[in-house]
Structure 1
């Protein structure tokens, strides 16, 4: 009996690991990128995302929109506007082909990209925190691990953005210091020349 439970737990872990997918796509200027998932009623769709920039010299944090549509595309189930990152989780109300889109329609930046993770189809019952079963415990543990991974990906992108900002600031401070040094040298040379001319004795023949 214990061996069967262990096999079920291993099978559940493998199923959840196969369901998780990480992607990175480039958003076209004034465009969007859309993806599809075939889900059943009661399934849970979980998507975590982070907007970034493929230009290594870019210093500011980019933002975008994230929208989840129903099978008919007219039913907006979830929408987040002007966000730099997010973690969206929703329970599907009915069976169908659901579409989720990353939208860049208000920006002409050509190097904006988005890194996102799809947690796949997670049924509500095994994820119930009240469920005192081995499968439920494995599912909750797997969800926590995926949450930590998503946070690590977000921290990596934020660290890259902050590093670019710090390097740009250091370059500006360096060139400003060089400019100040040049001004001091020019001013010193001018003062020496002016004082020399001021104390110079002229003789009339």
Structure 2
């Protein structure tokens, strides 16, 4: 039987395998920033962001005004738009993938009124899978004990690992099909080149034979 400490340790180890990304970037008036996330199917993704405006007087960044927001677009691996709307200067975006593969998240400012040679700094935090679940809220809503909550986290993480493994198998299958298709094309191209060389050689031999016969050399 596992003890509570064993379960907690396993949860901590598995959590290292789960994807999460936190960063910030600067954006100008006409700039559009896009990020690619490889996401398994049926996986929840939460994007937290915060926009700050450059202050030339202090040389730093300050909280942006209420009129500044971000237009966010999310496209799936088939280049279909999953989400496209304008959000405020700080907020959270949530969506669920339905197709495994590369999802593109693009962000750009919804207004150019604030530009005067300055820039915006956008803090971005992308949580994928079980990292997107607010377990404190889950524990409060379902009235779970600490051990029950840890087990719930463990089950969610195991499920996410299974999805990741399925996605890796999907990628391997696609790569194998691409490799087989490429090998077939290379084979057919080689056969075509060989056939062309044989035909050209036969034509040259026939032409030389006709030339020698015309010159009465044979």
TM-score of the aligned structures, taking structure 2 as reference length: 0.51
Whether 1:65 aligns to 2:71 is yes
Cα offset for 1:6? Answer: 3.2
- 1:46-85, aligned counterparts within 5 Å? 46-57=46-57, 61=65, 62-73=68-79, 75-85=80-90
SS at match of 2:28: coil
Distance in 1 separating the partners of 2:36 and 2:84: 16
Aligned length: 137
* Contact 1:30–1:106 under 8 Å retained in 2: no
1:114 pairs with 115, 122, 125, which one? 122
CA separation in 2, counterparts of 1:119 and 1:139? 18
SS in 1 for 2:16: helix
For the pair 1:9 / 2:11, whether they are aligned, the reply is: yes
Inter-CA distance 45–107: structure 2 relative to 1 (3 Å threshold): same
1:87 deviation in Å? 0.4
When residues 123 and 47 of structure 1 are mapped into structure 2, their CA distance, relative to the original with a 3 A threshold, is: closer
User: Over aligned residues, Cα RMSD in angstroms?
Assistant: 3.5
Distance 1:25 1:124 in 2: 22
Query: Runs of 5+ in structure 2 lacking a partner?
Result: 157-218
SS at match of 2:129: strand
* Correspondences of 1:161-200 after superposition (within 5 Å): none
1:95 aligns with 2:100: yes
Instruction: Indicate if the aligned counterparts of 1:34 and 1:99 stay in contact, CA closer than 8 A.
Output: yes
On the 8 A contact 1:20/1:119 being kept in 2, the answer is yes
Note the alpha carbon deviations across 1:65-100, whole angstroms, 9 max, x for none: 112111233x22122315211201221111121010
Q: Please report how far the alpha carbon of residue 5 of structure 1 lies from its aligned counterpart in structure 2 after TM superposition.
A: 2.0
Q: For the residues of structure 2 that align with 1:124 and 1:135, how far apart are their CA atoms?
A: 17
Contact kept? 1:46, 1:88, Cα under 8 Å: yes
Aligned equivalent of 2:36: 36
Q: CA deviation at 1:39?
A: 0.7
